[in-house]
Structure 1
Amino acid sequence: MADSDDGSPRPPTMADIAAHLGVSRQLVSLVMRDAPGASKETRRRVREAAEELGFRPHIGASSLRRARSMDLGVVFAPAHSTEPEIIEHIYPAAAALGYNVILSAQTATRSTNQAAEELLGHRCAALIAIGPDHEILRAVAQRSPVPVVGVGSGRRNPYYDFVRSEGDKGIAKAVTHLVELGHQQIVYVDPAAMPSAALRRRGYERTMSRLGLATDVLDMTGDYTKGDYFEEVGSAAARSLLQRGSLPTAVVAPNDNTAVGLLQILCRNGVRVPEDVSITGFDDAPIARLSSVDLTTVRQDPELMGVAAVDAAVRRVKDTELKPGGTVVETSLVVRGSTAAPFEPR
């Protein structure tokens, strides 16, 4: 750490590196920018000196000097457990194409619009928004001077690209799995405020109809922006089922956290899972993989979704004439310990 004129510490600069080595600042700048014109030995010495002095490039200043932004802005909701997993794969996908990633969070006190405006203020080349519904995405895209990609839901439209999993087919896989185990009384919990709710519900209704079984849907309301929305939906659904004269043999939830909320309330009331009621989720979120939960679920691959989002954003940045498109990622059934054949008392 160098000292300022008044003796207080300040971050080291390229001028400090130049003085330390006895070379020009222009040569240090050339090395730090990976520009041609310096020998291999000089580059080694400059980088070693930079590390020794604790020099860190000013990324914001470097971005402003570029004629074209190489930053991708990502809006996400930290409260939703699957979104950080998608971001984990956005970083390497962006880096592979030469882009940086800037995050902006949507919370209970901060809207998607506010998060997006902050990223636009950073002159991002494109925006990737994880989670918002179609109306919010359309509003953001209509105001945005750069391409917008929605992740998690969406349909073909002239405003933004979308990346989502095959939610209807994924739910169909869960229902088919339960029916193959011998279940016929299968309840579906519908967290209606979830952006992908309608698509996943259609998967349940169509599969039940195709198999000749009666549908049984619990319509659950609530505020999607709240961090405990999904768990509370599952808890409320469980309490509703417990008030019935008899329980179904299986319940399908279109979200893992909803399934966990359901499981906890049922177990606290003496219902055995899967002996009395089988439960399935959707996402394969970290909580579903815990040995204490061991949830049968439908996996939507966060790596595939993250990579697809970056590819869509960069494709639109490089070709401004390209129209918005969509990517649908395949799902797979992950069978764990929360499902079994219906219990038959002897």
Structure 2
Amino acid sequence: MATTASKSRRPTISDVARRAGVSTSLVSLVLQGSPLVREPKRAAVDAAIKELGYRPSRAAATLAGGRTKTVGLIIDDYRNLWFVELLQGLQSELDKHGYHVTVLDSKAGDAPGNGAIDQLLSMRVDGIVVAMDPRDSMLEATWAPTVVAGWRDRIPEGADLIANDDSAGGRLAAGHLLELGHTRIGHLTGSGGAATHRRAGFLLRCAEAGLPVRLWGEGHGTSEEDGYQAACALMDHFPDTTAIFAANDIMAVGALAALRERGLQAPRDVSVLGYDNSPLAMSRYLDLSSVDAKSGDVGAGAAQALLARMEDPARTLLRTLIPPALAPRGTTAPLGARAGHRRRASQGPRPRPAHDL
């Protein structure tokens, strides 16, 4: 009778081999999915794995196969939910090849030996996806294949780029608000490659229509607080604004808060349009109109590019732009369609009503 693994310890590959009546090297081949193993032997190993509850050691797999089957994803703000669909798209493709994703927030530090890139390299990840504007320490080429997800100001040396066409998305946003009849439009922007491209497309489309844009936030951040502050300044200077386009959904949420404090509602008084079509925008409570950045498709494309780069490090650099789409919801409406007795924004904030979004 085959020797069984002790219930007091974790079963090993040797236990599986003894139970299946094969060598440990053959068990390794089964775990690697090798086509060289005959079906009866594979079935015996699979049965032993199931019976013993064996879980392969990833460290051992690294030593045996030279890969950790891990990909690192670097973001810059867990609070901005645009990366959720990016992660889902990334993982959906990597799952097919047995890869896991480790997510790191770049704010963990950027000093040598402590930055996100260094942390991932110390973990011996097989590849890196950068979903933020890279810092200086990220711009040098590394031994790990790298893909940049989303438009960025700078691209690390040797990295592929898979991004939403943010310039086209900015044009979509402007076109949507213009079609609704708005001519006094404000844009809340910020720093970074994505905001830059969205701003450029938006301004170009408005210029083609002969309309000036009330621009606020250039050179600043793109957080909810940044959106709030930019919207406050915009409405203080231009209280007759009837539509606001924010560089992302979380900035749009900040704009909604600024409008509410001034006794204004979207879309009754001011239409508000975000960008990314994040889970935040899709929530039934906010019902935020947005431009869909197709983050899931960007994530899937980034995974495919990374896998291809792993197999062929010398392949031609890839630059792929994915078309955006409009996702209109309840915070944009035709000018005057839901007009009520508008309180002038210049009168300042009023006490917040219970349901004023």
Shift of 1:266: 1.2
Further displaced range: 22-31 or 281-290 = 22-31
> Which residue in the other structure is 1:140 paired with?
138
Corresponding letter in the other structure for 2:90: I
Corresponding letter in the other structure for 2:116: A
> Which residue in the other structure is 1:152 paired with?
150
Query: How does the TM-score come out when normalised to structure 2?
Result: 0.82
> Which residue in the other structure is 1:10 paired with?
9
Q: Is this contact kept in 2: 1:186–1:250, CA < 8 A?
A: yes
SS at match of 1:10: coil
Alignment of 1:80-229 (within 5 A): 80-96=80-96, 98=97, 100-111=99-110, 114-133=115-134, 136=135, 139-154=137-152, 159-192=158-191, 194-219=192-217, 222=220, 224=221
2:268 to 272, 275, 290: 275
1:283-303 deviations in Å (ceiling 9; x for gaps): 000010111111111001122
Shift of 1:93: 1.3
Inter-partner Cα distance in structure 2 for 1:245 and 1:212: 19
Q: Is this contact kept in 1: 2:289–2:331, CA < 8 A?
A: yes
Q: Is this contact kept in 2: 1:128–1:309, CA < 8 A?
A: yes
> Which residue in the other structure is 2:352 paired with?
none
Q: CA RMSD in A?
A: 2.8
Q: Is this contact kept in 1: 2:170–2:202, CA < 8 A?
A: yes
Shift of 1:24: 4.6
> Which residue in the other structure is 1:55 paired with?
54
Shift of 1:200: 1.2
Inter-partner Cα distance in structure 2 for 1:290 and 1:284: 10
Q: Where do 5+ consecutive residues of structure 2 fail to align?
A: 342-357
Shift of 1:159: 3.5
Inter-partner Cα distance in structure 2 for 1:152 and 1:317: 20
> Which residue in the other structure is 1:230 paired with?
223
Shift of 1:340: 0.8
Shift of 1:214: 1.2
Structure 1 pair 66–105 and aligned structure 2 pair: CA distance change class (3 A): same
Query: How does the TM-score come out when normalised to structure 1?
Result: 0.85
Are 1:321 and 2:320 counterparts? Answer: no
Q: Percent same amino acid at aligned positions? A: 28
Inter-partner Cα distance in structure 1 for 2:48 and 2:311: 37
1:297-344 deviations in Å (ceiling 9; x for gaps): 100112210122122223333333334231111000111111111226
Structure 1 pair 30–196 and aligned structure 2 pair: CA distance change class (3 A): closer
> Which residue in the other structure is 1:239 paired with?
232
Q: Where do 5+ consecutive residues of structure 1 fail to align?
A: none
Shift of 1:187: 0.3
Length, aligned pairs only: 332
SS at match of 2:198: helix
